[in-house]
Amino acid sequence: MTITDRSRILSDTSATGRVSGGDARTANISAGRALADLLRTTLGPKGLDKMLVGSDGKVVVTNDGASMLDRLDIEQPIATVLVETASQQEDRIGDGTTTAVVLAGELLATAEDLLDRGLHPTTIVDGYHRAAQRAVEALDQDAIVIDGDDPERLREVARTTITGKWDAEATAFLADRVVETVTAIRGDRAVDFRKITRKTAPGGSVFDAQVLDGLLIDMAESSTDVVSPEPGPPRRIEGATVALVDDQLTIETPTGGGPVDVESAADLERFRAYEDEVYASQVERLADVDADVVFCQKSIDDRVRYLLAKEGILAVERTRQDELYKLGRATGARYVASVDELTPAHTGRAGVVERRTVGATQFTVVRDAEGFDQVSLLLRGGTAHVADEVKRLVDDCFHVLKLVIEEGRVVPGAGAAEAHVAQALRDYATGVPRREQLAIEAFADSLDVIPRTLAETAGLDPVDSLVELRSRHHRGDRRAGLALDTGEVTDVVERGVVEPAAVKRRAIYSAAEAATLVLRVDEVAPGATDRDDHGHAEEDHAHGPGELVESTDGYPWAVGHSMGHDH
């Protein structure tokens, strides 16, 4: 199918008219297959990139299935349901999205044959469900238990799961940095995202990314010494007493922030005096508790900052709520709603508080705090597009590592797991009633799409590769997969191509779920429009590549990823 054919099917809004029975099913199956076809050639490390041109003329080059689905303008109702399934895979698991969609498309293609041969959709749906169940059992039985403390193993998993989504060298480098980050804080077979901070500083190369011990806090622009008067605040404090203020250190202007109404010079004088008094008392309060650093959730008046600097107190304003929370955890400080409430009992301790400049961005690093370990990954990226892809990769990688460390089980990649599962299904199919057997065999055949596609993208002969792969698995060689650079069928575990069992498991379930959903629908009819939903979808699409560069306020990670809400 040509690209134009595909886009015509996928953007077919006329499909929102009423259609039923076989016609509806045929149309839906084509839409599902078109979507899968679109993603197919991006699968695996040798997958090709796609260039997406937005209606606004923005061009995005990507190899990541989830990233593509996000940006495509898909209107066909069933296709949007498939996209939804895929994005759940992405959000919950962080990987395996392309696999899920491609497998779903193949399940639909084989289902079409079965329908032509007179099988009832319900029989196919039941058979697919049984097959998925059995497939996952076979996968789990054969999963390899790994030592979550072995960084080399973790690196292998991290690289396999994200390699091919983008520039190979960069992904490997970033995968290693993510392993370094996770290894730094990991305890007891668990990865606590609350101990990890991800930041980006615009400019610099992807290879400038670094893992920093401690918690990295952005300095809002006005906290920097650009505006800070003499004497400058200290750059580095050891054994720091930390205060957290969930308020501002400035005088609230009455009535909606308008200028204070002063009638005479005397009034002005009195107002200044009043301000001085309040500011002096705020500073005094901080000095009284021996604070070395104060993190303030709102703004700090320049005069207060000046006074604080004179006292040798570093003031950081507009600290995000979640960062205050992390600081609280890390230092043992409790935040107060107003600086007047501050007592020594509220303060916390940090080994070192240090200011750092990376590119044009200023950070405060808080580390060696008593009792809590924190680690930060500072990412760099020259352009918005790069930063966007880096963010996706790194986030996916964190999720995948969490899965693999917590479950401790991997399966061989490079088509090996699919070939193994297909073999198990063919064995299983012989014992079930004839009609369902056909569906289970169809499921097994559909799984071949993964190794076949990997072979195709690498320029190998897909038929030869599949025949060899099948015969190796038939002989019980469960780790046999495709070495894409040499074309051999070999033990891929030895080559370090392993994926978390959870990714594969979820991809198989998602694919089965999506395909059976399409098969069950026998009518597409216009329903009431859910405006809210639509608005939301538009917003999602809008989170395009421009976003990260615009976020020069330093909080690009704040945008709607589950890691951000994970506390």
Q: What residues are labeled active site?
A: 64, 97-98, 396
SS (H, E, C) 349-411: EEEEEEEEEECCEEEEEEECCCCCCCEEEEEEECCHHHHHHHHHHHHHHHHHHHHHHHHCEEE
User: Which of 243/450 has CB closer to Mg ion?
Assistant: 450
165: tokens are 């989504």
Question: Phi/psi of residue 293, each to 5°?
Answer: -140, 140
413 touches ligand ADP by CB under 6 A: yes
Q: How far is the CB of 486 from ligand ADP (least distance, A)?
A: 11
Instruction: Tell me the closest approach of the beta carbon of residue 168 to Mg ion, in angstroms.
Output: 13
Q: Which of 368, 385, 453, 381 has its CA nearest to residue 419? A: 453
Interface characters, 119-158, with ligand ADP (x: CB under 6 A): ----------------------------------------
* Residue among 65, 77, 328, 500 that touches ligand ADP (CB under 6 A): 65
Which residues are 523's β-sheet partners?
A: 20
CA atoms of 149 and 166, how far apart (whole Å): 27
457 binds ligand ADP (CB under 6 A): no
The two structure tokens encoding residue 449: 């799409």
Phi-psi group of 76: left, alpha or beta (phi > 0 → left; psi -120 to 50 → alpha; rest → beta): beta
Among 32, 45, 94, 214, which residue sits at the site for ligand ADP (rule: CB under 6 A)?
45
What is the nearest approach in angstroms of ligand ADP to the Cβ of residue 196?
22
**Which residue type, as a one-letter code, is found at position 185?**
I
Under the binding rule (CB under 5 A), the answer on residue 477 touching Mg ion is no
Q: Binding segment for Mg ion among 92-100, 130-138, 295-303, 523-531 (CB under 5 A)?
A: 92-100
Q: Which is nearer to Mg ion, 161 or 248 (CB)?
A: 161
DSSP, collapsed to helix, strand or coil, labels residue 344 as: helix
Sign of the four-CA dihedral 437, 438, 439, 442: positive
Q: Which of ligand ADP, Mg ion, none interacts with 77 (beta carbon under 5 to 8 A by kind)?
A: none
The reply to whether 484 sits near ligand ADP by the rule CB under 6 A is yes
**Measured between alpha carbons, how far is 182 from 187 in angstroms, rounded to an integer?**
9
- Site track 155-194 with ligand ADP (rule: CB under 6 A), x = hit: -----x--xxx-----------------------------
105 is a contact residue toward ligand ADP (CB under 6 A): no
Residues near ligand ADP (CB under 6 A), total: 23
388 lies in the binding site for Mg ion (CB under 5 A): no
CB of 418 to ligand ADP, least distance (A): 7
Alpha helices in 408-500 (DSSP H): 416-429, 434-447, 449-457, 462-474
Which element (helix H / strand E) includes 144?
strand 144-145
Give the contact letters, 152-191, x = binds to Mg ion (CB under 5 A), - = no.
Answer: ---------x------------------------------
Binding flag, residue 47, ligand ADP (CB under 6 A): yes
Q: How far is the CB of 542 from Mg ion (least distance, A)?
A: 25
- Quick check: 95 binds Mg ion (CB under 5 A)? yes
Q: Is 499 in the site for Mg ion (CB under 5 A)?
A: no
Interacting residue with ligand ADP among 307, 499, 556, 563 (CB under 6 A): 499
CA-to-CA dists, residue 92 to 360, 506, 535, 563, angstroms: 34, 9, 23, 11
Pair 243, 332: CB distance under 8 Å: no
Quote the longest CA-to-CA distance of the chain. Answer: 98
Which residues have C-beta within 8 Å of that of residue 148, sequence separation ≥ 6?
154, 186, 189, 404, 405, 406, 408
43 binds, among ligand ADP, Mg ion, none (CB under 5 to 8 A by kind): ligand ADP
Residue 45 partner contact from Mg ion, ligand ADP, none using kind-dependent CB cut-offs of 5 to 8 Å? ligand ADP
Cβ atoms within 10 Å, residue 96:
28
∠ CA 68-73-75, nearest 5°, is 125
Query: Does residue 32 touch ligand ADP according to CB under 6 A?
Result: no
Q: Is 97 in the site for ligand ADP (CB under 6 A)?
A: yes
* Contact set with Mg ion (CB under 5 A): 95, 161
Binding residues for ligand ADP (CB under 6 A):
42-45, 47, 65, 95-99, 160, 163-165, 413-414, 450, 454, 482, 484, 497, 499
